Structure 1
Amino acid sequence: MSSTERELAFSHEEVKHCMTKIVEAAFENPQNIARLKEAKSRAGSDMVKIMQFVFPIAIKIQQETMEQCGYHSDYDSAIRFTQVLHRYEKTDEELASLAARFKTIFMPPLFSQAQMSPANQGPIAPHDSYDPTGSAHFTQISTASSTGHVP
């Protein structure tokens, strides 16, 4: 099997294993935590700066970890991995949770479909401070759905 064919043949279990390793690398590796914290500090809440400073570090962590999992670490491979991840996370809640946790690195606390509460009672928003461990607690904002105003 050529390396290109190998890149296109991400199995469900391989993606789950590699995504677990990516999340561990991003949230448990002290060097990566420091890299991300510094980038987040530089970017603040400016989405353009997040894409400029934080996103490249998150992708670099993903690429480095993919290489440890036996995949190429180039940008195209990371894109293909992410595409396959999206396909698998639709049917695997654990994988979807891992992917969502990784996305907290570079996604500002905007309300999106992925941030709806389990009971669809309204959006949930993370606390304002950056949590490099990814274990931020989420708070139900009950007034958002009734008043349209988000504090």
Structure 2
Amino acid sequence: MSDTNSFSSETAKLALSDILEALNSPENAAKLGEAKENVGNDMLKMMQYVFPIVVQIQMEVIKKYGFADNRDGIIQFTQHIVALEREDPVIADLHTQLRANYLPPVSIATDASL
């Protein structure tokens, strides 16, 4: 495993872009689309069925960037991304795009009478 302590903003952008590209590949997009269609807007089902698919795809990509392709690697990668996104709006945007793959859209009521 390479040194993830030197994981830079530029490397983070490349990794996130690679993950998004992998998620949008025809095979993975079809698998995710089917899973999302089956779970609808149910957050629990989203975490049970869609999230593991996203994590598996993410693990395949992050190992190219020196992270272990397991639970610890995902946690370490996410911690690096969260720390970097505070200072870099591009990383924050890419991370938001990644999370959109497993978080259902949230409707926020704007009516004051609610």
The structure whose Rg is larger is 1
Q: How many residues of Structure 1 are paired with residues of Structure 2 in the alignment? A: 114
Q: Is the CA contact (8 Å cut-off) linking 1:7 and 1:72 kept in structure 2?
A: no
Return the offset for 1:47.
Answer: 1.1
Return the offset for 1:15.
Answer: 1.3
Q: Report the counterpart of residue 62 of structure 2 in structure 1.
A: 66
Distance 1:148 1:101, change over 3 A: farther
**How far apart in 2 are the matches of 1:24 and 1:99?**
13
Return the offset for 1:70.
Answer: 4.2
Aligned residue for 1:145, secondary structure, equals: coil
Q: Which runs of 5+ in 2 are unaligned?
A: none
Counterpart residue identity of residue 145, structure 1: T
Distance 1:148 1:24, change over 3 A: farther
Pairing of 1:71-150 with structure 2 (within 5 A): 71-110=67-106, 144-147=109-112, 149=114
**How far apart in 1 are the matches of 2:113 and 2:104?**
19
1:15 to 9, 12, 19: 12
Distance 1:12 1:38, change over 3 A: same
Q: Which runs of 5+ in 1 are unaligned?
A: 112-122, 124-143
TM, length-normalised to structure 2: 0.87
Aligned residue for 1:147, secondary structure, equals: coil
Return the offset for 1:146.
Answer: 4.3
Counterpart residue identity of residue 18, structure 1: A
Q: Report the counterpart of residue 43 of structure 2 in structure 1.
A: 47
**Where is the helix percentage greater, Structure 1 or Structure 2?**
2
For the aligned residues, what is the CA RMSD? 1.9
> What is the identity percentage for the equivalent residue pairs of Structure 1 and Structure 2?
35
Q: Is the CA contact (8 Å cut-off) linking 1:10 and 1:81 kept in structure 2?
A: no
Return the offset for 1:24.
Answer: 1.2
**How far apart in 1 are the matches of 2:67 and 2:41?**
33
Counterpart residue identity of residue 67, structure 1: K
Residue 31 of structure 2 is aligned to residue 35 of structure 1: yes
Aligned residue for 1:106, secondary structure, equals: coil
**How far apart in 2 are the matches of 1:109 and 1:148?**
22
